[in-house]
Chain A
């Protein structure tokens, strides 16, 4: 399968890339790792006139901590992030990065590309929402930071302007005593996730829940925060009964589509199970237990 013909450009700098996108207008598309865009082009779901290959722009692959902020460069591949020091320090990041698709896709696919593609079932948008991350967008007039839940406005839709590029993602480093986990359920490694759940939890003495965020992926057009469920738990001493109540509250706001991967009722139950499983892992990590969170295949 061949994509429709397009003109190919390879800017040498971020500045040049932005100017190029600005001049070429809406029918141009940036290409990073290509793991979303190339299948789209091959299926001719999109036929851009121009491809701006930003894949080798310098200085956009990094993962570092500066003061209390974690910053990840947009061109960092999933596989590279999974092996970074940041992923070792923050297990929920490793869960996500190391479990996306398969080794081949993780070699090329980038975090910036994944967020920009805004697929409702994909992992980075949900994970970054758990971490309350900001998307750094660079345009002709400089940078702006947009909270990820505002950046992704609908399925496959973002508020990125035609002449802007996502250049990094940033979030506050989870506090000491905080533990998180992220698990996706999918039919096979290379298959799109059916549903996913991410929880970042901060516990005090006696399992008192100081703070938490619960996000569900594949539960609507954009990653969905389970606010009611969080209210069930915040400020309380956490126990399995409370988690069960929270899970019920969470799936009450989940609106997964019925499709070939399962109907809405099935996916709600799937999400409920995922919440309880992810909660277990997050609780253990709050207690500093080293445990691998693993994606689940059918």
Chain B
């Protein structure tokens, strides 16, 4: 086993801001986001790639940041839950989660939001089946999921109504 810790310089864009840091190669992306960048909205849930609480978007795709090394994200664009709000205004998904009671304890919510956000970016017209499939990698132990589905569906319907 190597003894002296190797440090690797990485550069990532998180929520539109560039960061350059030296990290140990074994540092997970979620630890990097929380500990190095102090963005604690991204949660560590199961830490085994199951629950999805740590979901962020990397280059437009949803990923589990507990199952990705920070060095793998080098050069990438990351969006975390903190990046959803714009000019003091909550993102429509965040508003909808609030309005539809799509959360109780809130622990899974950042991950739910990021998975839903990735889906709606790729498929703004997503139907309930597509929403269920997109959120299948996010576990919620409080809500029973129904209000989460309603919240995402409402945003889709709003978008449709606005066209």
Contacts and interface: CB of A to CB of B under 8 A. Distances in A.
A47 B47 contact: no
A190 interface: yes
B48 A51 contact: no
Contacts of A188: 136
Nearest to A2: B26
Interface in A180-237: 188-191
Chain B, interface size category, equals 35 or more
A104 B63 contact: yes
Interface string A1-42: 111111110100000000000000000000100110011011
B71 to A, nearest CB: 6
A154 interface: no
B5 interface: yes
A79 interface: yes
B26 A103 contact: no
Nearest to B111: A104
Interface string A239-277: 000000000000000000000000000000000000000
Q: Find the residue from B25, B27, B62 having the highest chain A CB count within 10 A.
A: B25
Interface residues of A, number: 33
Nearest to A297: B136
Contact of B50 (A8, A34, A108, A190): A190
A102 interface: yes
B136 A189 contact: yes
B24 to A, nearest CB: 7
A286 to B, nearest CB: 25
Contact of A34 (B48, B67, B119): B67
Given A38-B68, A103-B133, A108-B63, A5 B1 contact: yes
Contacts of B50: 190-191
B87 to A, nearest CB: 29
A105 interface: yes
B28 A6 contact: no
B26 A4 contact: yes
A153 interface: no
B140 to A, nearest CB: 12
B1 A190 contact: no
A10 B69 CA distance: 13
Q: Find the residue from A7, A42, A55, A104 having the highest chain B CB count within 10 A.
A: A104
B115 interface: yes
7 contacts: A1-B47, A38-B28, A38-B68, A55-B72, A102-B136, A105-B49, A107-B63
- Ranked nearest first, the 3 interchain pairs of A and B with the lowest CB-CB distance are A102-B137, A8-B25, A189-B136
Interface of A: 1-8, 10, 31, 34-35, 38-39, 41-42, 47, 49, 51, 53, 55, 79, 101-105, 107-108, 188-191
